[in-house]
């Protein structure tokens, strides 16, 4: 079997091995493929039977021009880069990678929150700039510092990642309000319960987004929902950028209604130079790296190989179409 990986660099910039795929067939790995150059995508796939992609789109045109494709693997949980309906019509399974980054994303969520609470990076730089050495007092801080114990975290989307974040937050002494269409009774504890969205918005000191991007969740953080929040709320998003109306969040940050925000995802990625959040006060923006610890990427790699192996054995798994 000929296997083509169209954009392998982000998953494996050199610290992992492609050996698992090499064991399954003749492998060609492209570090990057132009996302808008359909002709080049078709040329690179050529007569390969298995195509592995992360963000390179596989459109119906690509499928029509590459009749040898028998399998499409996505190096991610999201699969919107593939025209999976067109693939289904051709009998081509599209397989994704569920649940590989649960612990990494939950950990990163808390890292963003703790940075907002303590501004560790800023104060480290201040010391290195000589400000502590010149300070007349034995300590100083440039931002209000925040203790999380006793505060309420509202988590919109209480699946695996949301629950992982909730467990860490509870260990820090926080109370959890969870909003999700599917509720697990065994998760209700003295420090964690489900709530309707409006109650969560009104009662939370910190609001975290861990929900999928669906039509009903797109723009769930907007000027109307922000108006219902506490003054001085903190908002964190390392799920999907379009969950937030970025202009509305910028305005709320600049007015002080929202005290701080941290986002690992934005509406268009890579970020555009005119993204509204770049002109917002007290907003941390990181380049979509919550998923990226080596351990997480290794799990992704292992599952991607196992998906293809299961297909070759006639029993495909993690099929989304």
- 269 catalytic? Reply is yes
- Domain span at residue 54 reads 2-100+294-312
The single residue of 26, 31, 269, 295 carrying the catalytic annotation is 269
- 77 with 139, same domain: the answer is no
- Tell me, yes or no, whether 317 lies in a domain: no
Q: Is pTM beyond 0.85 here?
A: yes
What is the count of structural domains for the chain? 2
Q: What is the CATH number of the domain that holds 303?
A: 3.40.50.720
3-state secondary structure 33-56: CCCCCHHHHHHHHCCCCEEEECCC
- 240 catalytic? Reply is yes
Average the pLDDT over 169-173 and give the result.
98
Residue 2, SS3?
A: strand
Can you read off the two tokens belonging to residue 84?
């999976």
- Tell me, yes or no, whether 256 lies in a domain: yes
- 173 with 136, same domain: the answer is yes
Within 10 Å of residue 206's Cβ, how many Cβ atoms?
24
The single residue of 88, 247, 288, 309 carrying the catalytic annotation is 288
The single residue of 123, 240, 250, 299 carrying the catalytic annotation is 240
- Tell me, yes or no, whether 319 lies in a domain: no
Per-residue pLDDT of 113-161, as tens digits, reads: 999 999 999 999 999 999 999 999 999 999 999 999 999 999 999 999 9
Average the pLDDT over 278-293 and give the result.
98
- 298 with 246, same domain: the answer is no
- 152 with 264, same domain: the answer is yes
What pLDDT score was predicted for residue 200?
98
- 194 with 120, same domain: the answer is yes
- 254 with 148, same domain: the answer is yes
Can you read off the two tokens belonging to residue 134?
């010149």
Instruction: Note whether 175 and 194 are within 8 A (CB).
Output: no
- 108 with 74, same domain: the answer is no
Which of the 8 DSSP states describes residue 271?
Answer: P
């Amino acid at each position: 079997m000929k296997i083509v990986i169209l954009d392998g660099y982000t998953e494996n910039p050199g610290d992992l091995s492609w050996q698992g795929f090499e064991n399954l067939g003749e492998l060609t790995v492209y570090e990057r493929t132009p996302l808008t150059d359909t002709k080049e995508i078709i040329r690179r796939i050529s007569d390969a039977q298995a195509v592995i992609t992360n963000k390179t789109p596989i459109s119906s045109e690509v499928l029509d021009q590459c009749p040898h494709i028998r399998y499409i693997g996505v190096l991610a949980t999201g699969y919107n880069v593939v025209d999976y309906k067109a693939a289904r019509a051709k009998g081509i399974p599209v397989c994704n990678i569920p649940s590989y980054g649960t612990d990494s994303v939950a950990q990163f969520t808390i890292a963003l929150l703790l940075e907002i609470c303590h501004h560790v990076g800023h104060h480290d730089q201040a010391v290195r700039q000589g400000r502590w050495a010149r300070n007349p007092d034995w300590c100083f801080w440039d931002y209000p510092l925040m203790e999380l114990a006793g505060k309420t975290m509202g988590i919109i989307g209480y699946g695996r990642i949301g629950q992982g974040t909730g467990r860490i937050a509870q260990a820090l002494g926080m109370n959890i309000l969870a909003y999700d269409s599917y509720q697990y009774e065994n998760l209700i504890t003295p420090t964690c319960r489900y709530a309707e969205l409006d109650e969560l918005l009104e009662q939370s000191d910190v609001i975290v987004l861990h929900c999928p991007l669906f039509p009903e969740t797109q723009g769930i953080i907007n000027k109307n929902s922000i108006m219902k929040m506490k003054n001085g709320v903190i908002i964190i998003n390392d799920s999907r950028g379009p969950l937030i109306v970025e202009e509305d969040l910028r305005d709320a940050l600049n007015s002080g209604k929202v005290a701080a925000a941290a986002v690992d995802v934005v509406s268009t990625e890579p970020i555009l130079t005119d993204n509204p959040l770049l002109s917002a006060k007290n907003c941390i923006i990181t380049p979509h790296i919550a998923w990226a610890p080596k351990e997480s990427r290794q799990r992704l790699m292992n599952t991607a190989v196992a998906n293809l192996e299961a297909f070759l054995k006639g029993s495909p798994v993690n099929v989304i179409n």
